[in-house]
């Protein structure tokens, strides 16, 4: 890519892309500087007053059932009402005569032969604009599935929305912390991405990106999926549901806790009752204290009075599963494992699904914006 070969529009696009990258670098350096300064002043990441536990295996099954049902409903409505021409095409093709069928069969064979030769030169998967629009339609039902599951699980847990990392307090604070966490995460994630690509020699690939380059107006559909649907649904599943279940298994340590979730004992009235409780449970001495708060003497499962020490393995396991869920996207699943582990640990510490959703939205939004700026730029050969 030589500067003299670029058109004025491409020069403007390249300048805008460079400005965004430099701004992100400056924001990351500033965020790390603030972190080191605050650590020098005695800052430490403080855990919440309770684990995320309460979610059980039964809630995972509920989530799976709702997701599958909504997916089936999305496909059925797409084929029947939104894009009925696919069904009509099948009905018309069934009425083709034998002679026409043979003629078309020969034509298809010729086309298939030509396509096989062409595929040797172009190995990138192709996707049509109808496929992208269809995936956008399905994503709306994924969003519906997330909200339906949230409601069912919260109702099963006695409408304790905190068990799913949802609270009406500290929302704006969590949004600010989410932006800060994002800029802290960008350097290590991008370094892992570059190292993985260089070591494997495999470039990031996604069929939707090819479709966007052919039909730029599809950026809006992809942005809706990546910036709105994916952060809400994936954070709810991998952080709210999975980590909640893993911590139920960790703190509950009983079959009933694994199946139906672990809930700390509440309404304990004095210090004697608190110390007599099982180490993995905790309770508040009055209504002003969280029923999840524990005395300092309970060091087996909780770190100090009012705080707990979250185990690392739920964040690691949920992060690995999160990365493997994106296995088809080239080697990007490797840095996404790092992303998932960090997000899992942040969720354990802050107990806020809002914070995780904000980070995920900003992360995907930056990637989509950079992709949009790079459309039309010549590729480096």
Average pLDDT over residues 28-44: 87
- Name which of 18-22, 117-121, 311-315 the model is least confident about: 117-121
Residue 112 lies in a domain: no
Q: 159-168, 205-214, 360-369: which has the highest mean pLDDT?
A: 360-369
Residue 333 lies in a domain: yes
The pLDDT tens digits of the residues spanning 147-165 come to 999 999 999 888 888 888 8
The predicted pLDDT at position 90 comes to 38
The predicted pLDDT at position 14 comes to 82
pLDDT at 143 over 50: yes
- Name which of 13-22, 82-91, 214-223, 278-287 the model is least confident about: 278-287
The predicted pLDDT at position 71 comes to 92
Average pLDDT over residues 72-91: 69
Residue 148 domain boundaries: 45-94+127-374
Residue 18 lies in a domain: no
Q: Please, which pLDDT band fits residue 219 given cuts at 50, 70 and 90?
A: confident
The predicted pLDDT at position 265 comes to 55
Average pLDDT over residues 76-96: 58
Average pLDDT over residues 124-130: 63
Q: Please, which pLDDT band fits residue 337 given cuts at 50, 70 and 90?
A: very high
Distances (CA, A) of 166 to 148, 174, 212, 235: 15, 11, 35, 12
pLDDT at 232 over 50: yes
Residue 309 lies in a domain: yes
Q: Please, which pLDDT band fits residue 88 given cuts at 50, 70 and 90?
A: very low
Q: Please, which pLDDT band fits residue 316 given cuts at 50, 70 and 90?
A: very high
Average pLDDT over residues 328-354: 88
Distances (CA, A) of 104 to 86, 88, 92, 99, 112: 19, 18, 14, 9, 12
Q: Please report the sign of the dihedral spanned by the C-alpha atoms of residue 272, residue 278, residue 280, residue 282.
A: negative
Average pLDDT over residues 51-58: 83
pLDDT at 269 over 70: no
pLDDT at 91 over 60: no
pLDDT at 93 over 50: no
Task: Specify the number of domains making up the chain.
Answer: 1
The predicted pLDDT at position 29 comes to 93
| Cα–Cα distance for residue pair 363/381, rounded to 1 Å | 28
Please give the backbone phi and psi of residue 301, each rounded to the nearest 5 degrees, phi first.
-120, -20
Residue 37 lies in a domain: no
pLDDT at 235 over 50: yes
- Name which of 38-42, 94-98, 243-247, 296-300 the model is least confident about: 296-300
Record the pTM.
Answer: 0.76
The predicted pLDDT at position 380 comes to 55
Q: Please, which pLDDT band fits residue 361 given cuts at 50, 70 and 90?
A: very high
The predicted pLDDT at position 3 comes to 63
Task: Return the higher-pLDDT residue of 151 and 369.
Answer: 151
- Name which of 9-23, 24-38, 267-281 the model is least confident about: 267-281
Residue 101 lies in a domain: no
Average pLDDT over residues 96-112: 51
């Amino acid at each position: 890519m030589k500067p003299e070969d670029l058109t004025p529009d491409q020069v403007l696009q390249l300048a805008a892309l460079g400005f965004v990258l430099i701004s992100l670098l400056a924001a990351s350096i500033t965020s790390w500087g603030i972190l080191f300064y605050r650590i020098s002043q005695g800052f430490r990441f403080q855990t919440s007053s309770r684990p995320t536990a309460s979610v059980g295996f039964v809630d995972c099954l509920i989530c799976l059932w709702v997701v599958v049902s909504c997916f089936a409903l999305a496909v059925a409505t797409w084929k029947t009402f939104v894009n009925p021409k696919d069904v009509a095409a099948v009905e018309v093709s069934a009425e083709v005569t034998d002679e026409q069928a043979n003629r078309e069969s020969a034509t298809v064979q010729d086309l298939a032969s030509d396509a096989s030769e062409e595929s040797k030169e172009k190995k990138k998967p192709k996707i049509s604009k109808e496929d992208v629009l269809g995936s956008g339609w399905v994503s709306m039902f994924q969003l519906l599935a997330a909200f339906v599951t949230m409601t069912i699980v919260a109702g099963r847990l006695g409408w304790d929305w905190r068990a799913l990392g949802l609270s009406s307090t500290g929302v704006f604070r969590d949004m600010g912390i989410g932006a800060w966490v994002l800029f802290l995460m960008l350097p290590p994630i991008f370094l892992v991405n570059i190292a993985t690509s260089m070591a494997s020699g495999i470039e990031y690939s996604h069929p939707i990106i090819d479709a966007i380059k052919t039909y730029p107006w599809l950026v809006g559909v992809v942005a809706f999926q990546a910036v709105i649907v994916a952060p809400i649904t994936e954070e709810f599943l991998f952080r709210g549901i999975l980590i909640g279940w893993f911590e139920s298994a960790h703190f509950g340590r009983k079959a009933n806790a694994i199946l139906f979730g672990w809930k700390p004992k509440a309404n304990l009235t004095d210090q004697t009752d608190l110390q007599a409780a099982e180490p993995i449970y905790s309770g508040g001495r009055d209504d002003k204290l969280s029923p999840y708060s524990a005395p300092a003497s309970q060091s087996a499962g909780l770190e100090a009075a009012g705080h707990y020490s979250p185990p690392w393995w739920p964040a690691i396991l949920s992060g690995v599963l999160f990365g493997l869920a994106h296995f088809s996207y080239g080697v990007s699943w490797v840095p996404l494992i790092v992303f998932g582990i960090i997000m899992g640990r942040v969720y354990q510490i802050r107990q806020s699904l809002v914070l995780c959703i904000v980070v995920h939205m900003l992360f995907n939004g930056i990637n989509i914006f950079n992709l949009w700026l790079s459309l039309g730029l010549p590729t480096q050969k």
